Amino acid sequence: MQAARPIFLLLATMVILFSPPRTVMAAEQAWPRTVKHEAGELVLKTKPVRIVSTTPSITGILLAMGAPLVATAATTPSPLTDNKGFFLQWAEVADERGVEVLYPNLEFDMEAIIGVEPDLLIASATGADSVVQHYSELEAQGIPTLVVNYSNQSWQEIATELGTALGLEDETGATIARFDAKVAEVAATIMPPNEPVTIVGYNIGNSYSVGRTSSPQSLLLQALGFKVDGLPDTVAKDVRRRSDFDFISHENLSAAITGKSIFLLRGSQNDVQALLEDPVLANLPAVRDHNVYPLGPSSFRIDYYSGLQMIEAVASNFRK
């Protein structure tokens, strides 16, 4: 029983971290309500019933919350999307709910937005799908616009922010609780290694990186019972760029990986094989012992749906 205690405490801690503040679970505020967001302040006179999203990175969160989403911008079709440009992790749900393509290839289209007649538009402050440069135009057209920054928040924090704005506090709380329950359920069925692991972004757009222990992917692995190593201090001087991941050169990647197992961000079995065959990494214990595992294509950005897919990818290699 003593051995199980640390994992239990970790899970309890992660449930707290992933759960919404108590204020979100309170009774809904009256309408109208004033919402502070990344671009200013917005007054919503009534509860939105026709929402559009110009940021596919947040669309999955809106779907998971049960928001009344009628259309979303689509990204350029790729192996990560369906033929419309909807991310695979939520494309089927969007189709089932009749969500239309607002505009394709992330090419901002004001006429398309006006044509849908939204009572709220969700936009991103950062990223390739940001339309914040068009914020004044949207205001001039009388389109209520709420700008969210997804670069520095977990999907749970974004959902909580949106739930409060949209009057979906209860739905948001239930969505996060379902996710927490799934994490706890899977954690009880797997056997993580005793040694720490490292999350690696391997040759993603010719870049190489190591996940920080505070990244969404790391927090999810920790909630499942894994010990996650970040970048060692000895390599910190070689970091080229920092976000949730520390970016370094290919030549320094071997020194940056201290975990005895490696999880590959956005990784497939083909990526696992490519890393195992990389002569620069040949002497790593994780490579010698073939302890390299994919987190799946959708793990690049964690939302409700991609988080569930990442959990399953991990569990498939570590079930008791």
Quote the number of domains for the chain: 2
User: Do 60 and 172 sit in the same domain of this protein?
Assistant: yes
> For 112-128, how does the pLDDT look when each residue is reduced to its tens digit (9 = 90+)?
999 999 999 999 999 99
CB 228 within 8 A of CB 198: yes
Model confidence, pTM: 0.87
| pLDDT score of 242 | 80
In a domain, 9, yes or no: no
Last residue of a domain, one of 184, 211, 245: 184
Order of all β-strands in the sheet with 69-72: 100-101, 69-72, 51-53, 120-124, 145-148
User: Do 179 and 202 sit in the same domain of this protein?
Assistant: no
Low-confidence ranges of the chain (pLDDT < 70): 1-29
User: Do 26 and 157 sit in the same domain of this protein?
Assistant: yes
- Structural domain harbouring 212: 197-318
User: Do 110 and 240 sit in the same domain of this protein?
Assistant: no
Q: What single letter denotes the amino acid at residue 74?
A: A
| pLDDT score of 18 | 52
User: Do 31 and 178 sit in the same domain of this protein?
Assistant: yes
> For 146-173, how does the pLDDT look when each residue is reduced to its tens digit (9 = 90+)?
999 998 889 999 999 999 999 999 999 9
CATH of residue 280's domain is 3.40.50.1980
| pLDDT score of 67 | 98
Q: What single letter denotes the amino acid at residue 114?
A: I
